[in-house]
């Protein structure tokens, strides 16, 4: 056994490592694009640590499993979709009920002007849940092509539905692959209730996520999660058909966006994506291949835990205020922020409750 020397062992191990890496690349589900990483943001300026979100009230604790988004109807009922496929709702008296089980993993939702609930089912498309709880598909394809990843939706006063298709390549079950690949496959879509047709307004978006309409409905705001920004797509006026940046260089990936009650700003939920521990992953494609094969590794770096943030952004792109839970002590992975009266309702995918923040009690 004299031939087993340290150099021999090193050579064998190197060969095994190279073979393993080649296999990883050969069977990788992604084809990494250019680096999309922005350096870790500093908790200063418009984004100071304040732990305001540690004061949230836990609604439906234990009854809700990862309520990603929420919506409110004219009677004050709060609707939310959970990981287990349920649409659950809270009555004004604070009691909860299981309203309708859609199966799957419903995401964004909104209450239409007619009072029906419109739900984004990532795999099945845009769904309508009527007053009598009948479920129907509003749209699921464009010119015979299936919409792969329906994410968020908002309705215009004329009944038009503006919604996001997060990725034309990867489904919801593998959403992290879209981020790791770093190639913009997202789209902003529109459903016309008159023609019953769906069209593409914008494509080439970096994981198209939340959507919102301006108060005057002259533009649609859409979030690009892994580009750390939100865009304006003009649908009326002289700028119709043009695109501008609403807000850029956010401290994390914007998820859902909702118009604030003042009609002049938006609430944006921010995901923890800009952390130094992940920098090497975005800078070196080989690590993106490895994480694509073993996505659970990302959790070791606190990708979805240990942090929560929501920001209020003016129409001019300036940050008005930000709230956070800097260590995820109470709430983390906040995915939506909806303002109703004096409260801000916070959807998230890490807890079994819907957060509610009393804005009147927040110290400025």
Q: How big is the CA angle at 211 (ends 326 and 160), to the nearest 5 degrees?
A: 160
Coil vs helix vs strand at 61:
coil
| HSE of 190, CA atoms in CB hemisphere, 13 A | 19
Q: How big is the CA angle at 328 (ends 324 and 334), to the nearest 5 degrees?
A: 60
DSSP 292: H
Say if 14 falls within a structural domain.
Answer: no
Question: What's the confidence (pLDDT) of residue 250?
Answer: 93
Say if 112 falls within a structural domain.
Answer: yes
Say if 354 falls within a structural domain.
Answer: yes
Say if 238 falls within a structural domain.
Answer: yes
Say if 249 falls within a structural domain.
Answer: yes
- In whole angstroms, give the CA distance from residue 334 to residue 307: 9
- Residue 80: domain span: 42-361
pTM equals 0.93
Say if 244 falls within a structural domain.
Answer: yes
Total count of domains within the chain: 1
What CATH code is carried by the domain that includes residue 279? 2.120.10.30
- Write out the two tokens for 123: 């795999």
Q: Are 232 and 246 in contact (CB under 8 A)?
A: yes
Q: In what order do the strands lie in the sheet with 78-81?
A: 70-72, 78-81, 86-90, 96-101
Question: What's the confidence (pLDDT) of residue 132?
Answer: 85
Say if 159 falls within a structural domain.
Answer: yes
Question: What's the confidence (pLDDT) of residue 35?
Answer: 72
Query: Exposure of 220 by Cβ count < 10 A (0-12 exposed, 13-18 middle, 19+ buried)?
Result: buried
> Could you read off the pLDDT tens digit of each residue along the chain, which spans 364 residues?
555 666 765 665 666 666 666 666 767 888 988 776 666 666 666 788 899 999 999 999 999 999 999 999 999 999 999 999 999 999 999 999 999 999 999 999 999 999 999 999 999 999 999 988 899 999 999 989 999 999 999 999 999 999 999 999 999 999 989 988 989 999 999 999 999 999 999 999 999 999 999 999 999 999 999 999 999 999 999 999 999 999 999 998 999 999 999 999 999 999 987 777 677 777 788 888 888 888 877 766 666 667 899 999 999 999 999 999 999 999 999 999 999 999 999 999 989 999 999 999 986 5
Torsion, CA 169, CA 137, CA 214, CA 313, rounded to 10: -50
- Write out the two tokens for 66: 């990862």
Q: How many CB atoms lie within 10 A of CB 319?
A: 17
Nearest Cα neighbor of 249 from 219, 221, 231, 228 is 228
Say if 75 falls within a structural domain.
Answer: yes
- In whole angstroms, give the CA distance from residue 147 to residue 145: 6
Question: What's the confidence (pLDDT) of residue 15?
Answer: 63
Phi and psi (nearest 5°) for 29? -80, 0
């Amino acid at each position: 056994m004299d031939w087993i020397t340290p150099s021999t062992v090193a050579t064998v191990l190197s060969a095994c490592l190279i073979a393993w890496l080649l296999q990883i690349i050969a069977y990788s589900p992604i084809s990494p694009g250019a680096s999309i990483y922005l350096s870790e943001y500093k908790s200063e300026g418009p984004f100071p640590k304040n732990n305001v979100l540690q004061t949230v009230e836990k609604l439906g604790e234990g009854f809700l499993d990862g309520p990603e988004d929420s919506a409110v109807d004219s009677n004050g009922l709060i609707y939310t979709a959970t990981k287990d496929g349920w649409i659950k709702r809270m009555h004004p008296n604070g009691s909860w009920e299981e309203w309708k089980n859609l199966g799957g993993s419903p995401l964004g939702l909104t209450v239409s002007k007619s009072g029906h609930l419109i739900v984004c089912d990532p795999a099945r498309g845009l769904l309508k849940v009527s007053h009598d709880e009948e479920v129907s598909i509003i749209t699921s394809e464009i010119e015979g092509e299936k919409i792969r990843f329906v994410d968020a939706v908002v309705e215009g006063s004329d009944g038009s539905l503006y919604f996001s298709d997060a990725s034309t390549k990867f489904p919801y079950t593998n959403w992290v692959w879209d981020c790791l690949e770093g190639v913009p496959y997202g789209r902003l879509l529109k459903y016309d209730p008159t023609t019953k047709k769906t069209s593409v307004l914008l494509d080439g978006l970096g994981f198209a996520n939340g959507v919102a309409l301006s108060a005057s409905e002259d533009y649609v705001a859409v979030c690009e999660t892994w580009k750390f920004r939100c865009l304006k797509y003009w649908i009326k006026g002289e700028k119709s058909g043009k695109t501008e940046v609403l807000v850029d260089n956010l401290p994390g990936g914007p998820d859902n966006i909702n118009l604030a009650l003042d009609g002049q700003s938006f609430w944006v939920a921010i995901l923890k994506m800009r952390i130094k521990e992940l920098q090497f992953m975005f800078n070196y494609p080989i690590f993106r291949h490895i994480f694509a094969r073993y996505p659970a590794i990302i959790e070791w770096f606190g990708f979805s835990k240990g942090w929560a943030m929501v920001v209020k952004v003016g129409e001019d792109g300036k940050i008005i205020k930000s709230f956070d839970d800097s260590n995820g002590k109470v709430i983390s992975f906040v995915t939506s922020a909806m303002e109703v009266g004096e409260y801000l309702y916070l959807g998230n995918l890490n807890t079994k409750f819907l957060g509610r923040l009393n804005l009147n009690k927040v110290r400025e």
